Amino acid sequence: MVEQRKNNQETQYDEEFLRQLLLDEDIDSFRENYLALHPYDQAQFYEKVGPDIRITIYQFLSPREMALIFESIELEDEEYEQFLNEMDTSYAAEMLSFMYTDDAVDVLHELDEEQRESFLEMMDSETVEEINELLAYKEYTAGAIMTTEYVSILENSTVRSAMTVLRNEAPNAETIYYVFVVDDQHHLTGVISLRDLIISEEDTLIRDIMNERVVYVKVSDDQEEVAQIMKDYNFLAIPVVNEQHEMQGIITVDDIIDVIDEEASDDYSKLAGVSDIDDIDGGPLKAATKRLPWLIILLFLGMITATIMAQFEATLDKVALLALFIPLISGTSGNSGTQALAVAVRGIATGEIQEKSKFKMLMREIMTGLITGLICGLVVIGIIFFWKHSLIIGLLVGAAICCSILVATIAGSFIPLLIHKLGVDPAVASGPFITTLNDVTSILIYLGLATTFLGQIG
């Protein structure tokens, strides 16, 4: 039966079967079946079971085996502390010491200082030194996400000696597809692929076959910039150097995938007007706390709209029909502004919009806003004329929509560029903010035009 279950796990694992093995305390069968799974599937099972089941998992698996699972796990920031508290302290510390340094640092970043120090005190001095080195770097920089487990070889060594180094260090290295070349002072001087090492003659000097044009990042570079570089060059790993060009570590593609996911979630949160993406398992109070700040700000901005409308009370009293089209105008301008905002924020995030192309992008958005505004205005004029049999009202609403879309498009593209120029994340120019701003401007345009031509309407 166990053999049959094991065969089924080539495509999927049987969660209930693994649970039962744990409940039966069948350690041999559990280890045989569970450790045969892909680390991702191991992590998925580990996350799904409750604390009572996980206690048995800690008894059945060594800290080294548990480290591999923790490297594949995807938890909310506050959950790391909860999971570590389920383990014996010494077990957790030993597990962290077996993890790749960058992954261990990611976990330790989520703990309070006291708990972090208690784990570090139980680790060996070499591991603690490596971890403290990464903890010292500013969060969200290349230094904070790099790993120090990489293979480097001296440029004056031979292929034979380089292969010996590679065989010795490969078990502890995060990747060996790229081997980085350094001089005697550990300055980065080149890179060589595993393929080139394998096919080269054993007596060949590394400096004769290495690629000297190395793309690298500095420890202080922002992680988003690093992600863009790795995406552009299709790298599996990229070296990290300090200001003296000394090799400090590498950043691997799996860490960059996490960065891209994190940055995308962060930008989406800001575009949605919340401080962070809501966790569906979180309580309503926690969700409300994340959403309230922007809602309160937008509430006050919305009061500006009400104040503006109050100034045009006489106009609305004279021609009540005008009020009918306020939601149409404000909604349309808000939508066009959000579209322009999305284009601008994405262009800045992906690096498509450079300093020299900002003006070109702005001009394109202005022309786009003009074209869409004119077409929408003409459509509205026709609808209102046939619906309300009033060409004047149709012209007024059509002109207001045309102007509002143009202004909203300009605002949606210009505001993120301005904020980015000031060194602030352009995603803070969120969708709700642009929408509310465009509500104010569109109503001001609409009722201003109505007041100007009030004599012709009445």
The percent of the chain in helix, strand and coil, each rounded to the nearest 5, is 70, 10, 25
Q: Give the neighbor-by-neighbor strand order of the sheet with 178-182.
A: 152-154, 178-182, 188-193
**pLDDT, average across residues 116-144:** 90
* Dist CA 232 CA 256 (whole Å): 12
Q: Please, which pLDDT band fits residue 329 given cuts at 50, 70 and 90?
A: confident
The Cα angle at residue 228 between residues 222 and 229, in degrees rounded to 5: 90
Residue 440 pLDDT greater than 80, yes or no:
yes
* Dist CA 92 CA 58 (whole Å): 10
Q: Calculate Rg over the CA atoms of the chain.
A: 30
Distance of CA 372 to the CA centre of its chain: 32
Contact indicator for 322, 447 with CB cutoff of 8 Å: yes
Which residue type occupies 216? Answer: Y
Q: Mapping DSSP to helix (H, G, I), strand (E, B) and coil, where does residue 240 land?
A: strand
**pLDDT, average across residues 393-412:** 89
Q: Mapping DSSP to helix (H, G, I), strand (E, B) and coil, where does residue 217 land?
A: strand
pLDDT at 92: 93
Mean predicted lDDT score pLDDT of the chain:
83
**pLDDT, average across residues 294-299:** 66
Q: How many CA atoms lie within 13 A of 412 on its CB side?
A: 32
Largest CA distance in the chain: 96
pLDDT at 9: 42
Which residue type occupies 368? Answer: T
In Å, how far are 83, 237, 276, 295 from 288, measured between CA atoms?
25, 40, 11, 10
Q: Please, which pLDDT band fits residue 8 given cuts at 50, 70 and 90?
A: very low
pLDDT at 159: 94
- The percent of residues above 90 in pLDDT, for the chain, comes to 38
Residue 402 pLDDT greater than 90, yes or no:
yes
Contact indicator for 394, 384 with CB cutoff of 8 Å: yes
The Cα angle at residue 300 between residues 403 and 316, in degrees rounded to 5: 50
Strand boundaries in 21-67, DSSP class E: none
Token output for 168: 């010795």
Strand partners, 237: 252
CATH class (in words) of the domain with range 284-457: mainly alpha
Residue 330 pLDDT greater than 50, yes or no:
yes
Assign a CATH topology to domain 152-264: CBS-domain (3.10.580)
Token output for 61: 């698996």
pLDDT at 340: 84
- Among 311-325, 388-402, 411-425, name the one with the lowest average pLDDT: 311-325
- The percent of residues above 70 in pLDDT, for the chain, comes to 83
* Dist CA 377 CA 201 (whole Å): 73
**pLDDT, average across residues 279-291:** 62
Contact indicator for 329, 400 with CB cutoff of 8 Å: yes
Q: Please, which pLDDT band fits residue 266 given cuts at 50, 70 and 90?
A: low
CATH number corresponding to 2-138:
1.25.60.10
Residue 46 pLDDT greater than 60, yes or no:
yes
Contact indicator for 179, 191 with CB cutoff of 8 Å: yes
Q: Please, which pLDDT band fits residue 279 given cuts at 50, 70 and 90?
A: low
DSSP secondary structure of 244-260: T-BEEEEEEHHHHHHHH
Q: Mapping DSSP to helix (H, G, I), strand (E, B) and coil, where does residue 187 land?
A: strand
pLDDT at 1: 41
**pLDDT, average across residues 436-448:** 83
Comparing CA positions, the residue from 385, 392, 398, 401 lying closest to residue 329 is 401
β-pairing, 188-193 vs 178-182, is antiparallel
pLDDT at 31: 94
pLDDT at 12: 60
Q: Please, which pLDDT band fits residue 388 given cuts at 50, 70 and 90?
A: confident
Residue 324 pLDDT greater than 50, yes or no:
yes
Q: Please, which pLDDT band fits residue 205 given cuts at 50, 70 and 90?
A: very high
**pLDDT, average across residues 387-414:** 88
pLDDT at 267: 60
pLDDT at 428: 59
Comparing CA positions, the residue from 7, 77, 13 lying closest to residue 42 is 13
pLDDT at 271: 55
Q: Please, which pLDDT band fits residue 456 given cuts at 50, 70 and 90?
A: low
Token output for 246: 């000394």
Q: Mapping DSSP to helix (H, G, I), strand (E, B) and coil, where does residue 160 land?
A: helix
**pLDDT, average across residues 112-122:** 91
Helices and strands per DSSP (H, E), number in the chain: 24, 6
Residue found under tokens 């959403």: 291
Q: Mapping DSSP to helix (H, G, I), strand (E, B) and coil, where does residue 213 land?
A: coil
Q: Which residues, 6+ apart, have CB-to-CB distance to 5 below 8 Å? A: 14, 17, 33
* Dist CA 8 CA 194 (whole Å): 35
- Among 80-84, 360-364, 452-456, name the one with the lowest average pLDDT: 452-456
pLDDT at 429: 54
Residue found under tokens 């301008």: 333
pLDDT at 140: 86
Token output for 212: 């000297």
Residue found under tokens 């595993």: 194
Contact indicator for 430, 338 with CB cutoff of 8 Å: no
pLDDT at 143: 93
* Dist CA 429 CA 342 (whole Å): 10
Contacts 24+ apart (CB under 8 A), 269-277: 270/425, 270/427, 270/428, 270/430, 271/341, 271/342, 271/345, 271/427, 271/430, 271/431, 272/430, 272/431, 272/432, 273/298, 273/430, 273/431, 273/432, 273/433
pLDDT at 84: 92
Q: Please, which pLDDT band fits residue 122 given cuts at 50, 70 and 90?
A: very high
**pLDDT, average across residues 135-161:** 91
Sequence ranges of the domains in the chain: 2-138, 152-264, 284-457
Residue 109 pLDDT greater than 70, yes or no:
yes
**pLDDT, average across residues 307-311:** 74
